[in-house]
Chain A
Amino acid sequence: MLGRLGAAVLLTLPLPALAEEPVTTFTLDNGLNVVVIEDHRAPFVVQMIWYRVGSADEPRGQSGIAHFLEHLMFKGTEKVAPNAFSGIVEAQGGDDNAFTSWDYTAYFQRIAADRLDLVMEMEADRMRNLRLTEEDVATERQVILEERAQRTDSDPGALLMEQMRAAQFLNHPYGIPIIGWRHEMEQLSRQDALDYYERFYAPNNATLVIAGDVEPEAVRALAERHYGPLEPSDAIVPRDRAQEPPQLAERRLVLADERVSDPYVFRTYIAPERDPGDQAEAAALTVLAELLGGDGQTSVLARALQFDAQVAVFTSAFYSGTSIDDATFGVAVIPAPGVSLETAEAELDRVLAQFLQDGPDPAALERIRTRVRAGEIYARDDVQALARRYGEGFSVGLTLADIEGWDEALSAVTEADILAAARKVLDRRNAVTGWLTQAEATVAAPTPAPTAAPTPVAAPEDQE
């Protein structure tokens, strides 16, 4: 069974890049990178445009503007009437959407391959010609506030993760939530959105990925026609963000919320990311996460805490290194009934310390290598996931060789690599540990609720 701490916990081994499907790359004169992935099994195509700008590039005090602009990009241009963008795609039998992360913002459509001309024309059009009215902005701001209410404020687990990231990154903008802090979201203006758009949305700051039943030469001709005439931006500079100072002390926090059912322990350690030409350590950490918490029956944490000691109901470990600056390595434990968070955390630390002594089980490592190799085969079934892999990789500054060499990097990881990476990263002085606990009801109740356990709970402010 899967854990249920939220999407971040469910991340499994990222599938490796591969060279089986023909991949062609080229760059237009205005700086637009283009990647073409051929898959001729069915007459469809995916267009994705990836801007190399995300919430970590926002002006200070305007948290959420990257994501807000992503919503506003569907509002229209001189050629496309207000709110008509998705309707035009849908009327052609396609669908479309977009997503924002700390390092990138991406837009995509899936549609019959013979409609690529149309969606390219539309995507190129809104790269430079967005039109926004004050009314559009005011209404859409309500939508993103509702989005925050639904996805973050209504979910104690999401609130804990938001607090933990803020504690993990004291200085780097990765500590600011992508959706934004509510008080800043409420102030985001049309001009804020346009300033950000005009500066960052340009062909020399984007990667275009076209995947599906297409020929590279035909894609090149279409890209030249639609994207070729767009002017590059001269405001694109390397993304040198404020970096973290050395972490000198372990950070801890407790979030108490009456909507919590089973309490849990969640910990993230600061960890290195994949760097251009240097992704061996990130590969070792990816395999480490899989060994520690990738499987409910065989992983180190599950064996020790769910099977042997039986102090946990769920355990998990996760790491994703595809980012520009520091990543995090995470572990989580939901204690069994009657087991305190203190005990669960102590048991977690005991198992991690033991792993740092013993190192990985060679048979387990071999099984992971087998799955990495097989992953190359299974990955070919999902061309949109392949498109994402290339788009994301280029958006964080990796090279084609890095992206296509990821499977090889994973396969090359040795027991010694894993142990070295684990010893470096799994150090509580680099960590934030969060406890999510139940709280007594804050609403006034005529009589004390009988289920409110007399557990000592600390307010969220009680961080050390």
Chain B
Amino acid sequence: MIRAVLAALLALALPAQAEIPIKQVTSPGGITAWLVEDHNIPFTALEIQFRGGTSLEAPDKRGVVNLMTATLEEGAADLDSRGFAEARDALAASFSFDAGTDSVGVSAQFLTENRDQAIELLRAALVTPRFDQDAVDRVREQVLSSLRADEKDPSTIASERFERLAFGDHPYGSPGDGTIETVTALTRDDVVAAHKAALARDRVFVAAAGDITAEELGVLLDRLLGDLPATGAPQLAEAPWLLPPGVTVQDFPSPQSTVFFGQRGIPRDHPDFFPAFVLNEMLGGGRFTARLMTEVREKRGLTYGIGTYIVNMDQADMLLGQFSASNDKVAEAIDVVKSEWGRIGREGVTPEELEATKTYLTGSYPLRFDGNGPIASILVGMQMDGMPIDYVTTRNSKVEAVTMEDVKRVAASLFDPDALHFVVVGQPSGL
């Protein structure tokens, strides 16, 4: 009976396209944003990204953008740390600030009934943060605590070791949170300088979703961001790719080994990006039907989960994957990964596999737009990636257009088991 239902469904039209009406809004002061108006629920989700992030800091100031970002909510204008938090809670607004490798992100949600007050408060944090010495010192201790935790965390150890091997002395090769030495040495002046360098109008991307009109958003943008500096620190140079093939083992006391692996990837604007995207989903998508999940988990029980990812940074592109496996099984799991990596390059995929993956990707795409918060977040990401505003309506046809020939060609050229490097953190046997 399920087969009958399935056949009937497949005979129907293709899965729904995302029907998300996105408007571009330009403020009177010239700041642009993407907007999805939806007046069902009286609040707005706002997402802001400043391109650059932790990669723009000097080697001896590693961690300063992270420390600065974490201190934005610790007092602004005439409010100290506690006063700021109390004012935010009295408005029932929520703000979060995040320092990433390529951008500093700001997420905000606020009610329609007190939107102007919430924006005044957020503006104070972005434009006139206080960075009081005691707040900087207190947040620094929290950062140091988390850096100490990173030193004992096998996943962080593995990814940092991998990035060092891939990028060497380029900023991508060291952790953006800094080291205990660099963070300990940072001064309040460093934090103030990092704020000026990172939060500037020449690098800002904005998206909003919810109960706000285009006109209201325009006014809001100028008030919120208009007084930030026009320009910030120069953007980064392209990263080198230094990763040698092989296996690196780092001893760590654990019953399991944590594995981080990868090779060079493919740029977002490459003509073969979509075939690569579909291929990655078939090989290492986190779903239970992906090949690696089937071979490593379902058939052999070697891991709880395995996934691979196409990672596009501003100045580098990677194919990455990770999993954990017991120390006595990790060598076998790595062999299976390498073998599948080679097999998909040699043999490509079956037409059934390609069709099933395409229906999954096209059908699940609209499901991502499930609320104002997720919509604003996706929209700002699209702008950072240089997508056109109609991308949401064309994306599924780009997936549909991927042919068996595309898959075969790209699989053979992209997936190279001899280029893979595995960083293994644990006490593996047989490696």
Contact = CB atoms under 8 A, between A and B. Distances in A.
Contact of A112 (B16, B38, B142): B16
Interface stretch (A230-238, A368-376, A417-425): A368-376
Interface stretch (A115-123, A167-175, A198-206): A115-123
Given A86-B289, A337-B141, A378-B43, A42 B2 contact: no
B326 A146 contact: yes
B325 interface: yes
B2 A149 contact: no
Interface string B282-305: 000001110000100111111110
A303 interface: yes
B43 A377 contact: yes
Contacts of B302: 142, 146
Nearest to B5: A118
B9 interface: yes
B364 A93 contact: yes
A139 B300 contact: yes
A303 B70 CA distance: 18
A121 B2 CA distance: 7
Interface string B1-17: 11101100100100110
Contacts of B325: 146
| B-side interface size class | 35 or more
Contacts of A74: 288
B356 A87 contact: yes
Nearest to B154: A154
Nearest to A313: B145
Contact of A306 (B138, B144, B366, B369): B138
Contact of A262 (B148, B154, B362, B366): B148
A334 interface: yes
Contact of A297 (B82, B356, B372): B82
Contacts of A207: none
A308 to B, nearest CB: 11
Nearest to B299: A139
A88 B6 contact: yes
Contact of A94 (B43, B256, B324, B363): B363
Contacts of A295: 85, 89
B92 A370 contact: yes
Interface string A90-128: 111111000000000000001110110110011001000
B359 interface: yes
Given A42-B366, A43-B16, A367-B89, A118 B152 contact: no
Interface string A291-326: 000011110000100110010011000000000000
Interface string B107-151: 001010000000000000000000000000011011011101101
Contact of A334 (B15, B91, B145, B371): B145
A4 interface: yes
A111 B6 CA distance: 14
B58 interface: no
B45 to A, nearest CB: 8
A1 B82 contact: no
A367 B1 contact: no
Interface in B335-372: 356, 359-367, 369-372
A251 B329 CA distance: 38
A381 B326 contact: no
A199 B15 CA distance: 38
Contacts of B3: 79
Interface in A1-58: 1, 4, 41-44
Contacts of B60: none
Given A41-B38, A115-B9, A110 B367 contact: yes
Given A86-B289, A93-B360, A313-B145, A42 B298 contact: no
A149 B287 contact: no
Given A112-B16, A259-B152, A146 B92 contact: no
Interface string A58-93: 000000000000000010000110010011101111
Contacts of A357: none
Nearest to A303: B82
A42 B364 contact: no
Contact of A370 (B40, B90, B298, B363): B90
Nearest to A139: B301
Contact of B371 (A90, A149, A314, A381): A381
Contacts of B92: 370-371, 373-375
Contacts of B15: 92-93, 112
A260 interface: yes
B42 interface: yes
B109 A378 contact: yes
Question: Could you say which of B38, B142, B255, B324 has the most chain A C-beta atoms within 10 Å of its C-beta?
Answer: B142
A259 B299 contact: no
B298 A118 contact: no
Given A154-B255, A259-B254, A380-B41, A140 B145 contact: no
B196 to A, nearest CB: 22
Interface of A: 1, 4, 41-44, 74, 79-80, 83, 86-88, 90-95, 110-112, 114-115, 117-118, 121-122, 125, 138-147, 149-151, 153-154, 258-262, 295-298, 303, 306-307, 310, 313-314, 334, 336-337, 363, 367-368, 370-371, 373-375, 377-378, 380-384, 441-443
Given A146-B256, A370-B89, 18 more contacts: A42-B370, A79-B1, A79-B3, A87-B288, A93-B15, A93-B366, A94-B364, A95-B364, A118-B9, A151-B304, A261-B145, A261-B152, A296-B85, A297-B81, A314-B142, A371-B89, A373-B92, A381-B45
Q: Which 7 A-B pairs have the closest CB atoms?
A: A93-B363, A142-B301, A374-B92, A297-B85, A261-B148, A147-B304, A87-B289
